[in-house]
Amino acid sequence: MKVFKFGGASVKDAASVRNVAHILEIQRGGEQLFVVVSAMGKTTNALEQIVHACYEKQNYADHFSALKTYQMTIAQELILASVAENPIIPAMETLFCKLEQTIQQSASYSDFDALYDAIVPFGELFSTRIIFEYLKYNGKNCRLINAFDWVKTDNYFRSAKVDIERSAEQLQHIMVQHPDVPVFITQGFIGSSAEGNPTTLGREGSDYTAALAASILQAESVTVWKDVAGLFNADPKKMPDAQKIAKLSYKEAVELAYYGAKIIHPKTIKPIENSNIPLYIKSFLTPEDEGTSICRDVETETQLPFFIFHDNQILISISVKDLSFITEESLHHIFGIINRCRVHVHLMQNSAISFSICVDNDPVRCRQLIRLLSEHYTIRYNENLELITVRHYQHSDRNALLTDKEILLEQRSRTTAQFVVRNLKN
Ligand code: ASP
Ligand code: MG
């Protein structure tokens, strides 16, 4: 058994889906395949816009029809039969009806995150349905497994935690019923709680779904198919002289993912590391090329600096109202609030009278965080910032990196430097 994961860019239009079908054919090597797919192109972002519109009680119709046109165009271009003979169309109509019903019930959702998890999974339901119907139409023996039926999670909407034991039971139960199926397809990123509510695992969570499936099924490898030829020491679209890394240890990969390297979701490594399953990152454009392999034993770990950029950051400074010190007790209280607002801290620093955190500027969560903190503390914040992380930092990188930038906060350890900056140029 091998596990393949296809991200949004690999299924962004009809030609890409045909390419995926081709990769499944040539890269399978007679093995059973478990294929995890995320939403097509920028579908998740489009669904997020719909969620925001519903939540703010604004008109969502334009977003909805643009999304439907996009998905239906792919469906029509893939199977050039009349609409009546194209099996993808009725299946997609059913899904769009369900999406519309969910949107119409949006007032009944307890909070933003629960509404988000009811709506955003449709991206993965669409993509897997299109690919499955397309493969079946072309005579391929494959099976679509609904991730709601096997990825079992808690109720922590938008960053749900997987119950690995229950998920393993469910998936194994499904798999034994189909021993002769060569290709299984399932949705990445989504799951369901014990009560049956849909949940999501956090943006880019499909990698984690793939790793989870691999460890449950004791797969021989996981391959993540990307639009880049492997893992680079910086985003090659931003830094043209970025270099590809041939091999990386699990440990180094965890560090990079922790600091937000976009290439893999932070939770991906642990399940496969436990079972020593290698992870390959390869390009769906040049599938024969080597790519990057992440595994346990790497003789010489690369010492190249890795550059990781996060935009849309907010730096929040929290100080005690009477200008007394920030104590362990106040930190405990502050973190209770941060945790309650489900905000993930990228970087923190404290001084005698203030404590600062740098986080993604998620409009709903940050607004709530600032409101709750303001009840007890004096809050100041700066928006539109960038967080730059350099692993294996060398002082010589500094100038090129920080030109035209004002540094608001800087932190360094032996291996890693982080800078919260404001771009002075835009
Ligand atoms: N479609 C989801 C996202 O864009 C999950 C994923 O791509 O892994 O975040
Ligand atoms: Mg995606």
Separation of 250 CA from ligand 2 center, angstroms?
A: 23
Residue 149 has pLDDT above 90, yes or no: yes
Residue 237 has pLDDT above 90, yes or no: no
Give the number of the atom of ligand 1 that is nearest the alpha carbon of residue 203.
9
- Ligand 1 pocket check for 189: Cβ under 6 Å: yes
- Ligand 1 pocket check for 211: Cβ under 6 Å: no
- Ligand 1 pocket check for 208: Cβ under 6 Å: no
Separation of 6 CA from ligand 2 center, angstroms?
A: 9
377-405: burial string, b at 16+ Cβ within 10 Å, e else: bebebbeebbbbbbbbbeeeeeeebeeeb
Residue 248 has pLDDT above 90, yes or no: yes
**Over residues 20-30, mean pLDDT:** 92
**The pLDDT value given to residue 379:** 97
The pLDDT tens digits for 69-112 are 999 999 999 998 787 889 999 999 999 999 999 999 998 987 99
Among the bound ligands, name the one nearest to the CA of residue 206: 1
SS3 at position 123: helix
- Ligand 1 pocket check for 123: Cβ under 6 Å: yes
**The pLDDT value given to residue 297:** 83
> Which structure tokens are listed for 381?
């914040």
Taking alpha carbons only, the member of 135, 114, 133, 137 closest to residue 125 is 133
- Ligand 1 pocket check for 224: Cβ under 6 Å: no
Number of separate helices (H) and strands (E) present in the chain: 14, 19
Residue 412 has pLDDT above 80, yes or no: yes
**The pLDDT value given to residue 263:** 74
Phi, psi of 175 (to 5 degrees): -65, -40
Judge whether 13 and 162 are in contact, CB under 8 Å.
no
Residue 396 has pLDDT above 90, yes or no: no
- Ligand 1 pocket check for 134: Cβ under 6 Å: no
Give the number of the atom of ligand 1 that is nearest the alpha carbon of residue 7.
7
* Residue from 206, 226, 267, 281 whose mutation best tests the ligand 1 pocket (most atoms within 8 A of CB): 206
Nearest CA to ligand 1 atom 5: 204
The pLDDT tens digits for 124-143 are 999 999 999 999 999 999 99
* Residue from 12, 38, 125, 151 whose mutation best tests the ligand 1 pocket (most atoms within 8 A of CB): 38
Q: 353 falls in which pLDDT band (50, 70, 90)?
A: confident
Q: 257 falls in which pLDDT band (50, 70, 90)?
A: confident
**Over residues 34-53, mean pLDDT:** 97
SS3 at position 378: strand
The pLDDT tens digits for 289-319 are 999 999 998 888 888 999 999 999 999 999 9
Helix, strand and coil content of the chain, in percent to the nearest 5, comes to 40, 25, 35
Residue 6, C-beta contacts closer than 8 angstroms, at least 6 positions apart: 20, 35, 36, 37, 38, 225, 284
Taking alpha carbons only, the member of 185, 206, 172, 221 closest to residue 24 is 185
pLDDT over 90, % of the chain: 83
Q: Report the distance separating Cα 359 and Cα 307, nearest Å.
A: 18
Judge whether 224 and 204 are in contact, CB under 8 Å.
no
**Over residues 184-212, mean pLDDT:** 97
**Over residues 336-347, mean pLDDT:** 95
Residue 418 has pLDDT above 90, yes or no: yes
What sign does the CA torsion over 342, 346, 350, 355 have? negative
- Ligand 1 pocket check for 8: Cβ under 6 Å: yes
- Ligand 1 pocket check for 205: Cβ under 6 Å: yes
Residue 207 has pLDDT above 80, yes or no: yes
Nearest CA to ligand 1 atom 8: 204
The pLDDT tens digits for 320-333 are 988 788 889 999 99
Residue 19's CB: how many other CB atoms inside 10 A? 18
Q: What is the mean pLDDT of the chain?
A: 94
Give the number of the atom of ligand 1 that is nearest the alpha carbon of residue 209.
8
**The pLDDT value given to residue 240:** 86
**The pLDDT value given to residue 397:** 83
Q: How many CA atoms lie within 13 A of 412 on its CB side?
A: 7
Q: 407 falls in which pLDDT band (50, 70, 90)?
A: very high
**Over residues 205-209, mean pLDDT:** 96
Separation of 36 CA from ligand 1 center, angstroms?
A: 11
**The pLDDT value given to residue 107:** 87
Q: Report the distance separating Cα 377 and Cα 360, nearest Å.
A: 21
Residue 262 has pLDDT above 90, yes or no: no
**Over residues 343-365, mean pLDDT:** 93
What sign does the CA torsion over 367, 370, 373, 374 have? negative
